[in-house]
Amino acid sequence: MATFRPRQNEVVYVGANVVLDVDLNARDTVIVDGEVNGEINCGLLVVGPDGVVNGHVAAKEADIAGKVGPTIEAAQLLRLRNNGQISGQATYGELEIEKGAVLRGAHFARREHPRQSAEAAELSRPHRQRTL
């Protein structure tokens, strides 16, 4: 019998072509290359280019190359890769967006950094995507 063992302990892996209708709670890492319909609570969420998450996400960090919605909360870092898409509300400690990524909906900085100026604080208020 073949066995799959991730290199890290406490990893939940949702493979390509797998669809789960479930709420996931993990202390460490959740990797989604398939589809999850439900809540995800974890330390690190990684959504691959073909991965889809339909539900509320709460994580310390999130690295998104696929699709996520309707809400995501990344307490520390939210990284949106060049082909990643977030539709809905995003809350984050820090935000990193690559060229080509899509962020639709409201997004909120969770806290101000000590070096942040008044002008930068104004820019961190909620924003909505505008259509011209």
Tokens describing residue 74: 């990344």
User: Quick check: is 75 in a domain?
Assistant: yes
User: Is the residue at 131 inside a domain?
Assistant: no
Count up the domains in the chain and report the number: 1
Residue 110 lies in a domain: yes
The verdict on residue 6 lying in a domain is no
Query: For the residues 31-35, what does the mean pLDDT come to?
Result: 97
94 inside domain = yes
Per the CB < 8 A criterion, the answer to whether 94 and 80 are in contact is: no
Confirm whether 128 is domain-assigned: no
> pTM of the prediction?
0.79
Flag whether 5 is in a domain.
Answer: no
φ/ψ region of 55 (left if φ > 0, alpha if ψ in -120 to 50, else beta) reads left
Q: Which residues pair with 67 in a beta bridge?
A: 52, 85
Position 11 pLDDT exceeds 50 = yes
Write out the residue range of the structural domain in which residue 101 sits.
Answer: 11-123
pLDDT digits (tens, 9 = 90+) for 62-89: 999 999 999 999 999 999 999 999 999 9
Instruction: Tell me, yes or no, whether 15 lies in a domain.
Output: yes
Is pLDDT at 126 greater than 90 in this prediction? no
- Give the model confidence (pLDDT) of 41-68 as tens digits: 999 999 999 999 999 999 999 999 999 9
